[in-house]
């Protein structure tokens, strides 16, 4: 495939018309709630763009993100994204391996200097020079630094890349760090989630390719289009929350009635993601619809929030012994103060009696 | 992406209102845009995909707008169904995605929806293909002769 | 560590420890301190100390006739926000879960919408109380910084709680963290200022009852 050809030309040669572009663009702009009418502009942008070179780096991860993103679409409208990008390096997916694979990465970087996108899934080990996770003998942290040097932008896919995720969970033995702690001089977009919603990924890349700029991000660098609202904001169980109807367990009458899952640990109120609207597995369901509270997987340090079943409004720490100790100490202080007061009073009475006796 | 509204799910709040009144709001918007289009020629798109409409709301809206004289299907990156409503210039555009789910749904106020029109780039490519076909045909006829 | 993690973790832990330590200290101290009764025989026909104490606690829950007119606002408004606070604190499900997490006790809550309404009334009542205090020259004379601080630390959790549930002003997690931090401030100040009346009023009223009963005064 010639790199100089536009996407419009490439797809045209395969009999794909501009209508497909327009249709795809209206799909993406609906996903991202772009202003009405952006679809046409996006379609033109996409058709005029070159195929986007993508270098995909997998570090301390479980491959769940890759699975989520590549297995989610059958060849229809949604899968067009794979025609818009050229996945020049992905060591899990690509056919080449070893030396050849690393060569492919270097070639893509050289050919698309300043124009390629680096996608990272997985956290980056930084402790002891990053020796806990290496590819072809190169530490992840070094490969990341080298790969982003001439990149246009970096997309951290999944909670591990975006926030450190499970590798960074206490006690973080490998010194795992999120991508944006290491890449400080390039634009970084975080698409967290464990795994992230595939549509978010497709939406962000399409936006980048067609408009040549980053979508609007929140303070954690997440695209607002997908992370602008909490699960709780759009949860269909919300009416039960408002009316104080809660499931107390996973198999009680409340659970069967589909009551709100707050009491069994739902983190929906503090979790920004689109699961409640976009849903999963081609729109089949999402965790709350399947009867389980939200784990908060797209938020930083979700693994260390004191337990998935601990309600949001409770203390993160086990306070029983500390509070018992405080009560005992308080009682001792109180009793001590009273004792001191009694002694003081007794001494005073004695003194008074003595001075009165003296007067007589 | 689906729009399976919450109320279609067995666990959905039973007493959730089926009709929320959102359809009225959309209809009013359509009316305003149509008036504007008739006067100034400014086309408009009302995106229904992400609107919090229930299944009942959608059905109500669809019934109100009804079906007019034109219906179009498009087979490009999946299936699409488009029809002009009872109201001239008001088009319903529905694109299907994977597994015949509705991927996007919108109302376009225009003389024809953008996606129905042929794109200049497609026409240029088609012209080239057609010219090639003609050339091919004429050589073949000459050879036969 | 995010602000919410800080609030739910170390801040809450420290505040609760200080609260329990201080409150127990003061209650035990008050109960074991010498009873300073007048060293005299009770009047003839005086109430027994137990009855006098009980009367002292309960009779004072409504003003004496002569004060009813003048003190009506204070009394009614006082009841409004005290009951309001009790309902909001004890019957909002997230709060019940918080208490359950600490003590293991559990009971059913009220619908959240109702709680929001009660909280709004409570907040308004607290403001009315402050305005009344600021406009009354007599109350001005007997108000100290403690009164204003105690008021503020009661008011803040109500406001931050309302903001958090209605998502006003900032993101929910930030507002929730501020709500929890405002409760931490409340808990830390509680044992050392006038907020402690929540525990001590029983003892002080009872003691007043006993003293007055001993002298044969009407309660
Ligand atoms: S289930 Fe979770 S997200 Fe849904 S309303 Fe209850 S607390 Fe909110």
- The token pair at C199 is 């525990």
Q: Are residues B43 and B60 in the same domain?
A: yes
B77·A237 Cβ contact <8 A = no
Could you report the per-residue pLDDT of C159-184, keeping only the tens digit for each? 999 998 887 888 888 999 999 999 99
Neighbour tally for C14: CB within 10 Å: 14
| B95 & B140 share domain | no
- What does the pLDDT read at residue A5? 83
Range of the domain at C59: 3-26+46-215
Same domain, B101 and B122: no
The pLDDT tens digits for C186-197 are 999 999 999 999
User: SS3 of A315, please?
Assistant: coil
Distance A312 CA to ligand 1 centre (A): 11
**Arithmetic mean of pLDDT, B86-105:** 88
Same domain, B128 and B104: no
The response to whether residue A231 sits with its C-beta less than 6 Å from ligand 1 reads: yes
User: Which chain A residue shows the shortest CA-CA distance from C22?
Assistant: A330
Residue C33 forms part of a structural domain: no
Q: Are A305 and A225 in contact (CB under 8 A)?
A: no
Supply the mean pLDDT for chain A. Answer: 88
pLDDT at A16: 82
CATH of the domain at C79: 1.20.950
Predicted pLDDT of residue A3: 57
**Would you say residue B5 has pLDDT above 80?**
no
Residue C32 lies in a domain: no
- Domain match, B59 and B130 both: no
Site to probe by mutation for ligand 1, drawn from A230, A266, A270, A289 as the one with most ligand atoms within 8 Å of Cβ, is A266
What is the CATH number for B87?
A: 3.30.1370.140
Q: What is the pLDDT of residue A292?
A: 95
C-alpha Rg value of chain B to the nearest Å: 21
Mean pLDDT score across all residues of chain C:
89
What pLDDT, on the 0 to 100 scale, is given for residue A72? Answer: 56
Ligand 1 pocket residue status of A198, Cβ below 6 Å: no
Closest to C122 measured CA to CA, from C173, C168, C156: C156
Query: Ligand 1 in contact with A108 (CB < 6 A)?
Result: no
Check if A262 contacts C (Cβ < 8 Å): yes
The band of C215, judged by pLDDT with boundaries at 50, 70 and 90, is confident
Domain around B128: 116-145
Pair (B104, B126) in one structural domain: no
**Atom 7 in ligand 1: residue holding the nearest Cα:** A262
**Can you give the pLDDT at residue B7?**
39
The nearest alpha carbon in chain C to A269 belongs to C172
Question: Is pLDDT above 60 for B13?
Answer: no
Q: Chains C, A in contact: 3+ Cβ pairs under 8 A?
A: yes
Nearest CA in chain A to C95: A313
**Residue C34: inside a domain:** no
Task: Give chain A positions within 8 Å (CB) of B49.
Answer: 30
C162 at interface of A, judged by CB pairs closer than 8 A: no
Give A111-126 pLDDT, tens digit per residue: 889 889 999 999 999 9
Who among C8, C27, C95 is closest to A316 (CB)?
C8
The pLDDT score that the predictor gives to residue B145 is 64
Choice from A233, A234, A288, A311 to test ligand 1 binding pocket (greatest atom count within 8 A of CB) = A288
What percent of chain A stands above pLDDT 90?
44
Q: Could you tell me if the CB of A208 is within 6 A of ligand 1?
A: no
Give the tens place of pLDDT for each residue, C119-164.
Answer: 999 999 999 999 999 998 988 888 999 999 999 999 999 999 999 8
Chain C contact for A164 (CB, 8 A cutoff): no
Tell me the nearest-neighbour CA distance from B121 into chain A, angstroms: 8
Interface touch C22/A341, C-beta < 8 Å: no
pLDDT at residue A278 above 80? yes
A19 → closest Cβ in B11, B104, B115? B115
Cβ neighbours of B80 in A, within 8 Å: 23
| Residue of B2, B44, B95 lying closest to A23 (CB–CB) | B95
> Which residue from A241, A315, A326 is facing C102, i.e. has the nearest CB?
A315
Looking at the domain assignment, is residue C55 inside a domain? Answer: yes
pLDDT at A260 over 90: yes
How much is the pLDDT for B6? 41
Q: Is A267 in the pocket of ligand 1 (CB under 6 A)?
A: no
| B143 shares a domain with B102 | no
B46 band by pLDDT with thresholds 50, 70 and 90: very high
C-chain residue closest to A244, CA distance = C111
Total domains in chain C come to 1
Q: Is C174 within a domain?
A: yes
Residue A152 in contact with ligand 1 by CB distance below 6 A = no
> For residue A49, is pLDDT > 50?
yes
Q: How many structural domains does chain B have?
A: 2
Q: What is the reported pTM? A: 0.80
The pLDDT value recorded for residue A51 is 86
Q: Is residue C154 within 8 Å of C189, Cβ to Cβ?
A: no
Say whether both B41 and B87 belong to one domain.
yes
What are chain A's domains? Answer: 51-226 (3.40.50.700), 231-359 (4.10.480.10)
What mean pLDDT is predicted for residues A243-255? 90
Residues of B in contact with A36 (CB under 8 A): 44-47, 106
Is the Cβ–Cβ distance between A140 and A178 less than 8 Å? no
Mean pLDDT of the region C2-13: 90
pLDDT above 70: residue A265: yes
Which strands, in side-by-side order, build the sheet including B71-75? Answer: B44-47, B102-109, B90-96, B79-84, B71-75
Residues B128 and B68 placed together within one structural domain of the fold: no
Residue B100 confidence (pLDDT) above 80:
no
In order of A90, A194, A219, the CA distances from A198 in angstroms are: 17, 11, 21
Beta pairing, strands A176-177 & A124-125: antiparallel
Predicted pLDDT at A1? 46
Two structure tokens written together for B49 = 């995909």
Nearest to C77 by CA among C136, C13, C130, C125: C125
The verdict on B97 and B138 lying in the same domain is: no
CB pairs under 8 A between A and C: 137
Task: Give the closest of A270, A314, A334 to C98, CB-based.
Answer: A314
In SS3 terms, C176-213 reads as HHHHHHHHHHHHHHHHHCHHHHHHHHHHHHHHHHHHHH
Residue of B nearest to A34 (CA): B47
Taking the CA of residue A236 as reference, the ligand 1 atom at the shortest distance is 4
C101-120 residue pLDDT tens: 888 888 999 998 899 999 99
Q: What is the DSSP letter of B99?
A: G
- C100 assigned to some structural domain: yes
* Residue C37: band (very low, low, confident or very high) from pLDDT cuts 50, 70, 90: low
Higher pLDDT, A114 or B143: A114
> Contact at 8 Å (CB) between B43 and B37?
yes
Claim to verify: residue B106 and residue B127 sit in the same structural domain: no
Q: Give the C-alpha separation, A180 to A163, whole Å.
A: 8
pLDDT digits (tens, 9 = 90+) for A179-201: 999 999 999 999 999 999 888 88
* Interchain pair A16, B76: CB under 8 A: yes
Asked whether the beta carbons of residue B46 and residue A36 sit closer than 8 angstroms, the reply is yes
Judge whether A269 and A294 are in contact, CB under 8 Å. no
Strand order in the sheet with A85-90: A85-90, A52-58, A117-121, A153-157, A188-191
Residue A186: is it exposed, middle or buried by C-beta count within 10 angstroms (0-12/13-18/19+)?
A: middle
Mean pLDDT along residues A154-159: 95
**Is B70 in the same domain as B120?**
no
Residue B78 pLDDT greater than 80, yes or no: yes
**ipTM value of the model?**
0.82
Closest CA to A302 of A122, A170, A179, A199: A170
Q: Is the pLDDT of residue A226 over 50?
A: yes
């Amino acid at each position: 495939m010639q790199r100089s050809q536009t996407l419009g030309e490439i797809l045209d040669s395969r009999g794909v018309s501009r209508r497909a572009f327009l249709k795809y663009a209206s799909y993406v702009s609906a996903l991202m709630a772009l202003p009405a009418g952006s679809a046409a502009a996006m379609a033109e942008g996409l058709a005029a763009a070159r195929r986007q070179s993508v270098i995909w780096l997998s570090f301390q991860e479980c491959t769940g993100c890759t699975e989520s993103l590549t297995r989610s679409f059958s060849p229809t409208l949604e899968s067009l994204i794979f025609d818009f990008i050229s996945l020049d390096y992905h060591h899990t997916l690509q056919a080449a391996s070893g030396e050849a694979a690393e060569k492919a990465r270097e070639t893509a970087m050289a050919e698309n200097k300043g124009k390629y996108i680096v996608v990272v899934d997985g956290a980056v080990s930084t402790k002891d020079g990053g020796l806990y996770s290496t590819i072809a003998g190169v530490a992840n942290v070094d490969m990341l630094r080298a790969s982003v040097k001439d990149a246009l932008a970096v997309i951290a896919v999944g909670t591990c890349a975006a926030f450190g995720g499970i590798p960074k969970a206490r006690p973080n033995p490998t010194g795992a760090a999120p991508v944006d702690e290491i890449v400080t001089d390039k634009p970084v977009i975080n698409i967290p989630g464990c795994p992230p919603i595939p549509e978010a990924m497709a939406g962000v890349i399409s936006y980048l390719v067609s408009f040549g700029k980053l979508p609007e991000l929140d303070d954690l660098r997440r695209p607002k289009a997908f992370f602008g609202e909490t699960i709780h904001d759009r949860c269909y169980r919300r009416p039960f929350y408002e009316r104080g109807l809660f499931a107390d367990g996973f198999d009680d009458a409340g659970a069967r009635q589909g009551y709100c899952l707050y009491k069994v640990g739902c983190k929906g109120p503090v979790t920004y993601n689109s699961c409640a609207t976009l849903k999963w597995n081609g729109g089949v369901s999402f965790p709350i619809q399947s009867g389980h509270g939200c784990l908060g997987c797209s938020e930083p340090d979700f693994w260390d929030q004191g337990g998935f079943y601990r309600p949001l409004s409770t203390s993160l720490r086990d306070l029983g012994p500390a509070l018992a100790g405080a009560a005992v100490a308080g009682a001792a202080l109180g009793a001590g103060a009273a004792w001191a007061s009694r002694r003081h009073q007794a001494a005073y009475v004695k003194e008074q009696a003595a001075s009165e006796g003296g007067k007589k | 992406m689906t729009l399976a509204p919450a109320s279609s799910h067995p666990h959905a709040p039973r007493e959730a209102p089926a009709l929320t009144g959102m359809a009225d709001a959309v209809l009013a918007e359509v009316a305003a845009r149509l008036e504007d289009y008739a006067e100034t020629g400014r086309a408009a798109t009302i995106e229904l995909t992400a609107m919090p409409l229930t299944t009942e709301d959608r059905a109500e809206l669809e019934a109100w707008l009804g079906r007019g004289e034109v219906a179009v299907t498009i087979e490009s990156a999946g299936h699409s169904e488009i029809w002009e409503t009872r109201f001239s210039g008001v088009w319903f555009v529905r694109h299907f995605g994977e597994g015949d789910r509705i991927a996007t749904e919108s109302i376009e106020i225009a003389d024809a929806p953008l996606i129905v029109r042929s794109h200049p780039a497609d026409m240029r490519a088609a012209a080239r293909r057609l010219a090639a076909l003609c050339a091919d045909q004429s050589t073949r006829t000459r050879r036969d002769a | 560590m995010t602000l919410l993690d800080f609030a739910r973790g170390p801040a809450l832990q420290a505040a609760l420890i200080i609260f329990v330590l201080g409150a127990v200290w003061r209650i035990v101290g008050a109960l074991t301190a010498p009873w300073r009764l007048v060293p005299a025989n009770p009047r003839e026909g005086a109430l027994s100390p137990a009855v006098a104490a009980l009367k002292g606690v309960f009779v004072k829950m409504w003003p004496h006739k002569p004060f009813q007119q003048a003190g009506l606002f204070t009394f009614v408004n006082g009841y409004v926000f005290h009951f309001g606070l009790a309902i909001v604190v004890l019957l909002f499900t997230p709060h019940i879960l918080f208490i359950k997490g600490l003590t293991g006790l559990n009971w059913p809550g009220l619908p959240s919408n109702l709680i929001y309404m009660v909280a709004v009334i409570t907040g308004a009542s607290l403001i009315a109380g402050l305005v009344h205090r600021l406009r009354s020259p007599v109350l001005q004379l007997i108000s100290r910084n403690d009164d204003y601080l105690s008021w503020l630390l009661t008011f803040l959790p109500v406001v931050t709680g309302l903001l958090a549930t209605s998502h006003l002003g900032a993101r929910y997690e930030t507002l929730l963290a501020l709500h929890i931090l405002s409760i931490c401030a409340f808990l830390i100040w509680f044992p050392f200022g006038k907020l402690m009346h929540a525990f001590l009023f029983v003892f002080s009223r009872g003691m007043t009852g006993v003293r007055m009963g001993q002298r044969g005064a009407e309660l």
